[in-house]
């Protein structure tokens, strides 16, 4: 069996911290000496621009090197990988054409497993320790592909009232995915943009702790503008400001994720 673990970052709630978490966890894993491939599965290109300036991101998007091309033509993903400036960290970029992926998938044979099949050879080579997939804020056929290609799902949740609203739909969707991918496991909930000064934060954590069937990661990420400054510089905060509070929080969360994903 391949040693490569595939982890999806998914939540249908927009702005819950999926991309920020995916980029920082991927970068932290690479900084810890792991070989990591990230896949930008969202038409917003946010994961791609976490590592490249806009000009370079548009070059990938307009050219052939992006996830849309690979899925549409059902190609081996090995040919769509580009290196980032971080040692050990590679990415398959996205494109705004991902807006029509649902339409393209519709006519395909075994349409929930297209990504899984395209990823088969990359997994079989066993070069990567982890493959991380960033998802769009939807629960359709494409995110079902992401689930079916993954071993684990990490669900980033914003510590706010609306951050929790709709979470049940997300877990129902994971259960549906399990009927097609029985080994899929919800690895845990990662709380992001936490503000400990707010009374509501404590209540959020209590609600999440009491939720059955999903682990709440002990390490959470507090709200911090350093995260945004890092993004403005096309870098995850763990690389941009290694000694910042956010970088340390992401490093700890990454170690926790790796601990559970390697059991
Ligand atoms: N710890 C943090 N502190 C401050 N701002 C943050 C933090 N984490 C994320 N953000 C900001 O919150 C916004 C949403 O984060 P992000 O893009 O990661 O969420 P998302 O779930 O990927 O969104 P989408 O559903 O649109 O893909 C971004 O503008 C990001 O800069
Ligand atoms: Mg995103």
Total domains in the chain come to 1
Decide: 92 and 67 in contact? Cβ < 8 Å.
Answer: yes
Range in 28-32, 71-75, 205-209 the model is least confident about: 205-209
What's the gap in Å between 42 CA and the centre of ligand 1?
A: 14
| Whether pLDDT at 101 is above 70 | yes
Residue nearest to atom 15 of ligand 1 (CA): 17
Residue 263: per-residue pLDDT:
74
The preferred substitution site among 12, 14, 15 for testing ligand 1, maximizing ligand atoms within 8 Å of CB, is: 15
Closest CA to 256 of 219, 222, 210: 219
Residue 2: per-residue pLDDT:
59
In Å, how far from its chain's centre is CA 15?
13
Per-residue pLDDT averaged across 231-236, rounded?
96
Q: Under 8 Å CB-to-CB from 138, ≥6 apart: which residues?
A: 12
Residue 161: per-residue pLDDT:
81
Q: How confident is the model at residue 252 (pLDDT cuts 50, 70, 90)?
A: very high
The percentage of the chain sitting over the pLDDT mark of 70, rounded to a whole number, equals 99
Show the DSSP H helices in the chain as ranges. 18-31, 54-62, 67-72, 101-106, 114-125, 141-148, 161-164, 167-180, 199-210, 225-232, 237-240, 245-261
Q: How far apart are CA 23 and CA 144, in angstroms?
A: 21
Beta bridge partners of 92: 39
Per-residue pLDDT averaged across 71-78, rounded?
97
Residue 165: per-residue pLDDT:
84
Residue 100: per-residue pLDDT:
96
What's the gap in Å between 128 CA and the centre of ligand 1?
A: 26
Range in 131-140, 173-182, 208-217, 221-230 the model is least confident about: 208-217
Indicate which CATH number applies to the domain containing 235: 3.40.50.300
C-beta of 20 in contact with ligand 1 (< 6 A): yes
What's the gap in Å between 65 CA and the centre of ligand 1?
A: 25
C-beta of 192 in contact with ligand 1 (< 6 A): yes
Q: Is the pTM of this model over 0.85?
A: yes
Query: 161 is in which domain, residue-wise?
Result: 5-261
């Amino acid at each position: 069996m391949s040693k490569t673990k595939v982890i999806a970052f998914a939540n249908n709630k927009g702005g819950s911290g999926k991309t920020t978490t995916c980029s920082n966890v991927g970068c932290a894993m690479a900084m810890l000496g792991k070989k990591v491939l990230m896949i930008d599965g969202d038409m917003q290109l946010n994961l791609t621009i976490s590592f490249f300036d806009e000009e370079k991101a548009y070059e990938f998007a307009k050219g052939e090197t992006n996830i849309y091309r690979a899925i549409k033509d059902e190609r081996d993903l090995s040919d769509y990988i580009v290196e980032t400036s971080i040692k050990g960290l590679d990415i398959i970029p996205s494109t705004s054409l991902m807006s029509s992926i649902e339409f393209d998938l519709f006519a395909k044979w075994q349409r929930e497993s297209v990504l899984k099949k395209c990823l088969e050879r990359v997994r079989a080579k066993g070069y990567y320790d982890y493959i991380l997939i960033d998802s769009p804020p939807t629960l359709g056929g494409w995110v079902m592909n992401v689930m079916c290609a993954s071993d684990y799902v990490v669900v980033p949740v914003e510590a706010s009232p609306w951050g929790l609203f709709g979470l049940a739909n997300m877990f129902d969707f994971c259960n549906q995915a399990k009927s097609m991918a029985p080994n899929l496991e919800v690895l845990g909930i990662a709380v992001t943009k936490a503000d400990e000064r707010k009374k509501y934060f404590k209540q959020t954590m209590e609600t999440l702790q009491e939720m059955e069937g999903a682990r709440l990661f002990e390490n959470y990420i507090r709200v911090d503008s350093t995260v945004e400054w890092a993004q403005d510089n096309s870098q995850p905060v763990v690389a941009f400001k290694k000694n910042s509070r956010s970088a340390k929080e992401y490093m700890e969360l990454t170690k926790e994720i790796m601990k559970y994903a390697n059991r």
